[in-house]
Amino acid sequence: MYWAIKPFFVFAAIAGSFSYFIFRSKILLNTLTSLPTKADRSDHIPSRIKSVFVDVLGQRRVLKKKAPGIAHTMIFWGFIIITIGTVEMMVDGIFRGVNLSLLGEAIYGRYLLVADIMTLAVLSGVCFGFFRRLVLKPAYLKTGVDALTVLAFTAGLMLALFGMNSFRVAADPGSTLNQYFFVSGFLGNIIHQSGLSPDLAFVGSEVFYWLHLLLVLGFLMYIPRSKHLHILAAGPNIFFRQLGTSKAMIKTDLEDENATSFGLGKISDLSWKGALDLYACTECGRCQEACPASLTGKPLSPSNLVHDFRTELFAHQAAILAKKTEELPNVVRADSGVTEDVIWACTSCRACEEVCPVHIEQTTLIFESRKNLVLMQSSFPAEMQTVFRNLENNFTPWAFGSDTRADWCRDLEVKQMADHPTAEVLYYVGCAGSFDDRAKKVATAIVKLLKKANVDFAILGKEEKCNGDPARRAGNEYLAQMLIKENVETLNKYKPRKILTGCPHCFNTLKNEYTAFGAQYDVVHHTTFLSELIEQGKLKPAVGADKEVTFHDSCYLGRWNDVYQSPRDILKAIPELNVTEMPRNKNKGLCCGAGGARMFMEEKIGTRININRTEEALATGAKTIAAACPFCSTMLTDGVKAKEQQANVQVKDVAEILAESIT
């Protein structure tokens, strides 16, 4: 009797929950496709496929944290393997006898063994999950009903599996398959020894079968409404991740006559990729742990940011699907989790993106929100108004006359492109090198090195304008595009073979963002160029003044562009110079606090990011802190002064250290 009705109930349960699941998933998919903003991620297909293998199957970033990483990997792989059995269960439930045993005992048995071990692995992982969330409680990890429900479901599923399998063993003690059950066999024996009759044991196994089936189907229905959605969204999000120059900021089409808004104002301004980012987040909190703003008491937590955007997305899902989004409120508002202070606290260091296991683009949310705040609402920190004015009138963020841009090298006999248009290398000095007295010394050191190595170079002089980075990172896309277009015209006039930049911000923008405006050139940062000169024997470092050095990685050089080795190569090439790494180095380096145009803003909330980093640098005991960026140098110098160590510790650019070691 039971066997006659069981298939119908199983079928009904599966059909019901699958229908619901598909129904809700379609809504999620339609939400994505209903968003009007476009995004193109059709480039680099082979790399994308590779990324899915390495990041999804290989769990590359997940494993960067040892204990949770291993636990998650066990759960991930365990679940994949167990799912085979789950499907088998469902099919067998409807068509009795149609199961993997048809493959023969050799294969089936091995599957059962692996699956059983994996069940234990998953359960262990889940136990660790509970332990971590309820006992260890790291600050960056939020535990709510959702998280606990997911863990509970999973634990329940594993226990149900063990239940089912161990009662099956007890129900058929003579089965040859029992030897393959590692844990379940052991449990099954205990049940059998307790004297329970095989018939009752069979009932028990069916009870657990139903428990397992209903839990799986229930979990399936729960997924689209919870953060566990990441199991569907993570793979695609990783496939569609940022690659190559797509680390560049989105080029907003400001000439679009039909555009009623620019940047991210309402939640419906997201692109499908942005929404997919929100689906993929499982609130692991690693981004918050890495974020310098969160670290120093600012209201910005990338994890909360993504969560808040997602809440907003689901709150207005109906309007998005109906394509009636005119009345939606702005995401950034005083009474939501996303206040203006949150948006402006970001230094764009990309530490969040670096650690995110599913490659969420948190900074895109920030940048696009800034665009809307600046372009549509004229709302930005008051200090930026002067910066914007200066950029408009003098093409530099500081108030210096644009025609004094080449004054720094008046006495250095430096050629200008206008006089020497065929120069091998165009040295793009940057605003800091041209106007900041401290950075001028670095530019002078670079010139000295280039001359020493007989490099044929020239500068743009007055033709050079700010590359547009401060305006762009501050959300003033209109001003940034104006500056970029003017520079592109100048660069395309000269078509330089190589562009050497003195600053990582110039480097990043010229290399990655100018392509979208029609200027694609071979752009290199001065540390890379100088290290190549050393390699080629054109520069021969001798013993210099700096012996104990620590190197601070610039975000725009490192995480933004993967340049970690060049400055270290230079330092290693200098005899008797010893480099001590800070604990947070390379792609884990802490931002100096000046990125994202924050160099020009007041830091009013929490503690100072640059002080935090300076303390770390001072703790290495090095007498020289080396940097490769004028902003980093300024922030670290301020930090050294604030710690009253200026008599003991110096901050120098790598170029200066090298120049001093070459007579």
Partner 1 sequence: MKVYVCLKQVPDTESKIKVAADGKSIDSTGIKWILCPYDEFAVEESIRFKEKNPGATICAVSAGPDRVVDALRTALAMGCDEAIHIALPENADSYLTAKSLARAITKSGTPHLIFTGKQAIDDDAAQVHQAMAEFLSLPAVTVVLKAEYSATSVKLDREIEGGAIEKYEVATPCVIAAQKGMNEPRYASLPNIMKAKKKEIKKVTLAELDLTDTDTKVSYSAMQLPAERGACKMISGDVAAQAKELVRLLHEEAKVI
Partner 2 sequence: MKTVIYCEHHNGKIKKSSLELLSNAATWGTEVHALALGAPGTLDGLAAELNEYGPHAIHFAEHAGLAHYSSDGFAKVVADAAKSLGAEILLASVSTQTKDFLPRVAVKLDTGMASDCTALTVAGSNVQATRPMYSGKCFASVDFSKAKPVMATIRPNALGMKAKKAGSATATKLATDPGTIRAGVKEVVAKAGAQNKVDLTEAERIVSGGRSLKSSENFKILEDLATTISATVGASRAAVDAGFRPHSDQVGQTGKVVSPSLYMAFGISGAIQHLAGMRSSKLIVAVNTDQNAPIFQKADYGVVADLFEAAPKINEEFKKLLQH
Residue of 487, 488, 511 lying closest to 499 (CA atoms):
511
**Interacting residues of 194 by C-beta distance below 8 A, sequence separation 6+:** none
C-alpha 48: how far from chain center = 16
- Alpha-carbon distance of 296 to 163, in angstroms, equals 48
The backbone region for 195, taken as left when phi is positive above 0, alpha when psi lies in -120 to 50, beta otherwise, is: left
Record the tokens describing residue 62, joined without a space.
Answer: 């997940």
327 binds, among partner 2, partner 1, none (CB under 5 to 8 A by kind): none
Strands (E), 176-299: none
User: Amino acid identity of 216?
Assistant: V
Q: How far apart are CA 121 and CA 330, in angstroms?
A: 45
Judged by the rule CB under 8 A, the positions of this chain that interact with partner 1 are 254, 262, 374-378, 380, 382, 385, 388, 393-394, 399-404, 478
Amino acid at 499: I
Residue 404 interacts with, from partner 2, partner 1, none (CB under 5-8 Å by kind): partner 1
CB closer to partner 2, 547 vs 641: 641
Whole-number Å distance between alpha carbons of 319 and 313 = 10
How, if at all, do strands 578-579 and 624-627 pair?
A: unpaired
Partner whose binding site includes residue 478, from partner 2, partner 1, none (CB under 5 to 8 Å by kind): partner 1
502: CB partners within 8 A, 6+ apart: 427, 428, 429, 430, 432, 433, 439, 442, 443, 446, 526, 630
Task: Kindly report the backbone phi and psi dihedral angles of residue 651, in degrees, each rounded to the nearest multiple of 5, phi listed first.
Answer: -110, 125
- Enter the DSSP assignment of 225: G
User: 147 phi and psi, to 5 degrees?
Assistant: -60, -45
- DSSP collapsed to 3 states, 309-357: HHHHHHHCHHHHHCCCCCCCCECCCCCCCCCHHHHHCCCCCCHHHHHCC
Q: Give 415-419 contacts, CB < 8 A, sequence gap 24+.
A: 415/457, 415/458, 415/459, 416/458, 416/459, 416/460, 416/461, 416/463, 417/458, 417/459, 417/460, 417/461, 417/463, 417/494, 417/496, 418/461, 418/463, 419/458
Give SS3 for 540. Answer: coil
Q: How remote is the C-alpha of 226 from its chain's centroid?
A: 22
**Beta-carbon contacts of residue 12 (< 8 Å; ≥ 6 apart):** none
Decide which of partner 1, partner 2, none touches 167; Cβ closer than 5 to 8 Å per partner kind: none
Which residues make up the interface to partner 2 (CB under 8 A)? Answer: 383, 386-387, 398-400, 432, 435-439, 600-602, 634, 637-638, 641-642
Nearer of residues 290 and 474 to partner 2, judged by Cβ: 474
Alpha carbon distance 503, 398 (integer Å): 16
* Lookup result for tokens 């277009």: 485
